[in-house]
Structure 1
Amino acid sequence: MKNNKNKAITIAGVDIEPGKHAIVKLPLADLYTQTEMSIPIHIFHGKSAGPKVFISSVIHGDEINSVEIVRRVHAQRWLKHINGTLITLPIINVYGFMLRSRYLPDRRDLNRSFPGSQSGSLAARLANTLTTEIFSHCQYGIDLHTGAYGRINFPQLRVNLSTPGTKKLAKAFDAPVIIDAQLRDGSLRQVASEMNIPILVYEGGEALRFNELCIRMGVRGITKVLDYLGMIESPLLSKATLLKPLITKHTRWVRACDSGMLQFCKDFTKKFAVKKGETLAYIHDPFQVNPPQKIKAPFNGVVIGLTNLPVVNEGDAVFNIASTQRLKTLDAYIDDMRDEITQFDS
C-alpha cells in the first residue's frame, strides 16, 4: 500500500486528525429515569491512508464474548501504526447489556431492525443512528456474535458471498467454517450487503460466558483481515496457513424427537464430524417408564452449534449441522486449528 498521508475524518459530528485515537459518545434515547445513555465508539485513525473498517459487538446484549474480543484488539501493539481507519463499537446494545438480555427494552431484536428509521421504535432509531453515523462511512465490517442463551456456537463465519470482495475477506479471517448464509430481513448483514460493504459475521461461544478458544479465534481473525487489507503488518501472521476452511451453504438444526433428558454420545466440543445415520444423542424419560429415543445425523457434516441444556422439549433445537463430505480429514483439521489458536498470543 502506498504510504499516502491520511486526512481528518468526521464521525458522529467529531473531527479526528490523522494519527489520533478518539473516543466518541454516540447519544441514545434516555432511560425512563431520564438517565442519559450513549455508545462509546473508538476511532483509530492512522497517519497513512487506507481502508475504513468497523468492528461491531453486542448487537445482542447478552453476547459478552464479543466485548472481550474487542478489548484484546485494543491491546494490540499494531494499533499504534495502523493505516486507514478502524472503528470499534465494544457494546452497541447497552440497554440489553445492562439487563443481560438479548433484546432492547422494547423487546425488539436490534439485528432485525436495520437500517431503521428516525421516527420508529427504540430499536429502529438505534439502528438508523448506527447506519447513518458509523456504518455508511466504512468500506468493510466485522460483526461479532455468539450463540443464543442455552446454545454454544463453534467458531464460524456467516457471510453473503455474492457481495463483491466478501469471499477473499472471509478466507483472510481464516475461520474453520464459512457459511454462505441467506440474508435475513433487517439484519446488519443485509443492510451492509445493500451498501456493497463486505461484512463478516463471526459466531463463536455462548451467551453470558467467555470462551477462550472463540475469543482467541476472533482476535486472530480480525488481525488477519486487517493484515490482508494492508492496514497493519503483524509478524505473528507472517507464516501462511496450510489449513483450508469448510465452505458450505447447507446447514440444518436437528430437533428433539421427544421430550426428556438429553445424553450426548460424544464430546462435540472436541469431535465435530458426524456421519449420516450416526446416533448423536439419546433422549431419556426422566421417570424411566418409556425407552430412550435416538437423535440421528440427517447427513454427513460438522456440528457448528448445539444446546448446552440437558433438558429438552419435543421440537427443541439440539444440533446445528453444516453439510460436508470432508469427514476423513475434518476432525484432524479442527485439531490442528485448535492447536494453532491455542498458540496464538492474543
Structure 2
Amino acid sequence: MANQPLKIGGVTVRPGESKDIGLELSETYTGDAIRMPVRVIRAKKPGPRVFVTAAIHGDEINGTGIIHDFLFGEACTIKRGALILVPVVNVLGFENNQRYLPDRRDLNRSFPGSSNGSMASRIAKKLMTEITSKCDYGIDLHSAAFQRTNYPNVRADLSQAATRKLALAFGCALVIDGKGPLGSFRRECARAGCPTIILEAGEPWKIEPSVLQIGVQGIRNVLIHLGMQDGDPIPPPYQATIRKTQWVRATVGGILKFHISPGEFVKEGQPIATNYSILGQEQNIITSPANGIAIGMATMPAVKPGEPVCHIATLTAGQISRYEKRLNTSKADPYKQAQEDLATNVDIVDRAPVEGV
C-alpha cells in the first residue's frame, strides 16, 4: 500500500502531510453528523501504514490516554509510511460513559459489519472500509470489562507469522495466543489481510499512568520494528507466550478479600481470595488451579456463585522463578509499577500460604 493514494472520509492525505479528519459514523435524532476523530500522519517516504485505535468499547479509555500521550512531542514523528490514530472509535458510548452503543450492541462483536445493518454493524463496516482496508498493520487498545482490571498483556493470533512478529515487537511482558472472539475487530482485520494485535490493560473509566507508559512504549517499539522510526526498542523485563488461561470463579455469594495483586505470580493451590459472608464469617478460600500469573481480577468485592474472581495465565514453575527475578531487579520498570498501581483497586490482605506451596 506504500505508494497508493491515502484518502479517509473523502479527505486526501499526501506524502509529508498530517491532517485531522472527522469521519462520519452516524447521526443524532436531529440529523446532525456524529464524527469519529482521526489523526493521519504521513511521511514523505513510502512505507508501512499502521492504525492505532482505542475505545471501541466506549468506557475503555486507557487506550484513549495512550494515543493522547503519544501525540505529544516528537513521539509521533515518522520517517516513512503513514500512521492513523483513532483515540475514540465508539464516540456514542464514550459520550455516555458506556461500553456499548445506544442500540445495546457490542461494537467489538459486530465486525466486519454491513452498510445496511444495525447501528453497530454500520459503524463496524465504516471502520473496516475507511481504516483497515487502507493499512498494513493494526494495534487496538482495550481495558478490562466493567468491575475488573487487567494486568497489561498483548493478545494476537500467533499462528500468523506477520501477526506474531508484530505482537512480539510491541514488547509486552505477556503475549496471549488466540484468534479473538467471533466478530471482534482484530480477528476480522487479520482475515482481511491486516495483521492486528490488541493491548489489554487496566480498568474501564480510568487513564492509568503505568498503563500509559507501557502503551506508548509498545507503539513506539512497533514503529521502530517496521522502520518507521529511528531508535532502539525498549524490551520488557521478560516476555512470556501464554497458550492457556482460565477464570477462577466464586462458588458461594459473599464479600472477597484478596491475597494477591494483579500481575502477581502464583503457584498451584496458593490462596487467591477468601470469601466471607456479609456478616464477616469465613466461607471458603479460593485457590489458584495452576502455576501462573494473575492477568485479570475482579474489582467488585461482592460476588455471586459463578462470577469471575481472577484470570490466571498458565506458566511453568521454572518460568515463574526466572521472571520474578527479572521483574524484581529491573529499575524503573513500568510492569512492576503496574502491579502496585492496579493493586490499589482491590482489597488485599496477607494470608499464610497453604501447606506445600
- 2-side partners of 1:280 and 1:343: how far apart? 19
Q: Residue 341 of structure 1 corresponds to which residue in structure 2?
A: 334
For the pair 1:246 / 2:240, whether they are aligned, the reply is yes
Letter in 1 for 2:284: Q
Instruction: For residue 338 of structure 1, report the CA deviation from its aligned partner.
Output: 7.5
* SS of equivalent to 2:159: coil
Unaligned stretches of 5+ in structure 2?
338-357
* Counterparts of residues 1-346 of structure 1 (less than 5 Å): 8-234=5-231, 237=232, 241=235, 243-266=237-260, 268-269=261-262, 272-288=264-280, 291-325=282-316, 326-335=319-328, 339-341=332-334
* SS of equivalent to 1:292: strand
Instruction: For residue 343 of structure 1, report the CA deviation from its aligned partner.
Output: 11
Instruction: For residue 197 of structure 1, report the CA deviation from its aligned partner.
Output: 1.7
Greater shift after overlay, 255-264 or 116-125? 255-264
Change (3 A) 1:21 1:314: same
Unaligned stretches of 5+ in structure 1?
none
Instruction: For residue 8 of structure 1, report the CA deviation from its aligned partner.
Output: 4.8
- 2-side partners of 1:6 and 1:205: how far apart? 38
- 2-side partners of 1:134 and 1:166: how far apart? 18
- 1-side partners of 2:313 and 2:169: how far apart? 21
- 1-side partners of 2:331 and 2:120: how far apart? 37
1:143-178 superposed Cα distances (whole Å, 9 cap, x missing partner): 000001110000000100122311221111110100
Instruction: For residue 127 of structure 1, report the CA deviation from its aligned partner.
Output: 0.3
Instruction: For residue 222 of structure 1, report the CA deviation from its aligned partner.
Output: 0.3
Instruction: For residue 341 of structure 1, report the CA deviation from its aligned partner.
Output: 3.0
- 2-side partners of 1:248 and 1:342: how far apart? 17
Percent of residue pairs identical = 36
- 1-side partners of 2:87 and 2:242: how far apart? 29
CA contact (8 A) 1:163 1:197 kept: no
Letter in 2 for 1:260: G
- 1-side partners of 2:243 and 2:335: how far apart? 28
CA contact (8 A) 1:6 1:46 kept: no
1:189-225 superposed Cα distances (whole Å, 9 cap, x missing partner): 1111212221110010100012111111000000000
Instruction: For residue 25 of structure 1, report the CA deviation from its aligned partner.
Output: 1.3
* SS of equivalent to 2:92: helix
1:75-100 superposed Cα distances (whole Å, 9 cap, x missing partner): 14143343100001110000000110
CA contact (8 A) 2:151 2:296 kept: yes
- 2-side partners of 1:10 and 1:293: how far apart? 59
1:22-63 superposed Cα distances (whole Å, 9 cap, x missing partner): 111111221224332111211101011110000011000000
Instruction: For residue 241 of structure 1, report the CA deviation from its aligned partner.
Output: 3.5
Aligned pair count reads 334
Q: How high is the TM-score relative to the length of structure 1?
A: 0.91
Letter in 2 for 1:332: K
Change (3 A) 1:335 1:197: farther
Letter in 1 for 2:255: M
* SS of equivalent to 2:116: coil
Letter in 2 for 1:124: S
Instruction: For residue 331 of structure 1, report the CA deviation from its aligned partner.
Output: 2.8
